[in-house]
Amino acid sequence: MIVALAGQKGGVGKSTTAICLAVAAMGRGARVLLVDADPQGTARTWGEVASEAGHAAPTVIAMGGSMHKPGQLPAIAAGYDWVVIDCPPRHGEVQRAALMVADLVVLPCGASAADAWALATTLEMVREAQSFRENLRACLLITRKQGRTGIARGAREVLEASGLPVLASELGLRVAYQEAIASGMGVTEYAPRDRAAAEVIDLLKELEKFGDGKKTGIDINSQATAS
């Protein structure tokens, strides 16, 4: 399954989510390819840190606006169970390329109404892609959530009005995510008993349901224990 983490807005945790999701899938036996499509190169830098520290990591490659063309990502993806694409903000041509090859696009969104409003351009891009690719599925993911706040509930209500499904899984604003990335690890590897690890496992299981029978190489019954 090819999953693209996309969105025009920066600062919503796309790279962190992509890395942690890829590591969690790999930790459960899947062959995983992490595609860094962001010129900022966060995933590539993380991969270098992981390699230098001797941590197990998915294969990391860089691709851009031609990834959807014959002989590019579709050919490479055949050797993996999961492909996770970390898309850049504001680079429309790269995001469009990712949407032309992905099975599922996940749109991370910060837990505020303002973040939800900022999705309008991205939603238009997704709907345009779906007009060409009827099988392309899309969903929204709340990230950087700060507890059980009224702001977070308001954001979910706004997102639910967008017409796309909002994942039940949510990623909180937790230090463990930042510490894991800085260490060249995913949060499920860095802090397996932290609540952040449980959030990523919940997300992985929920995305697995979108696989619709695809061979993802994952035992979805495997659990992470939260503290």
More confident residue, 168 or 222: 168
Range in 5-19, 74-88, 148-162, 197-211 with the lowest mean pLDDT:
148-162
Q: Which CATH number covers residue 145?
A: 3.40.50.300
> Does residue 220 carry a pLDDT above 60?
no
| Model pLDDT for residues 120-159, shown as the tens digit of each residue | 888 888 999 999 998 999 999 999 887 665 666 667 777 8
| Contact residues for 42 (Cβ-Cβ < 8 A; gap 6+) | 15, 19, 36, 86, 181
**Total number of domains constituting the chain:** 1
What pLDDT is attached to residue 213? Answer: 45
Domain assignment present for 213: no
Q: Which pLDDT does position 225 carry in this prediction?
A: 37
Determine, yes or no, domain membership for 14. yes
- The rounded distance, in Å, linking the Cα atoms of 111 and 44 is 27
Q: Domain for residue 216, yes or no?
A: no
Question: Residue 97 sits in which domain range?
Answer: 2-208
Instruction: Confirm whether 196 is domain-assigned.
Output: yes
Average pLDDT over residues 208-222: 59
Cβ count near 215 (within 10 Å): 10
Looking at the domain assignment, is residue 217 inside a domain? no
Amino acid identity of 130? Q
Provide the token pair at 212.
């619709």
- For residue 227, is it within any domain? no
Residue 215: inside a domain: no
- Mean of the per-residue pLDDT values for the chain? 88
Residue pLDDT, tens place only, 94-122: 999 999 999 999 999 887 767 777 788 88
- Flag whether pLDDT at 223 surpasses 60: no
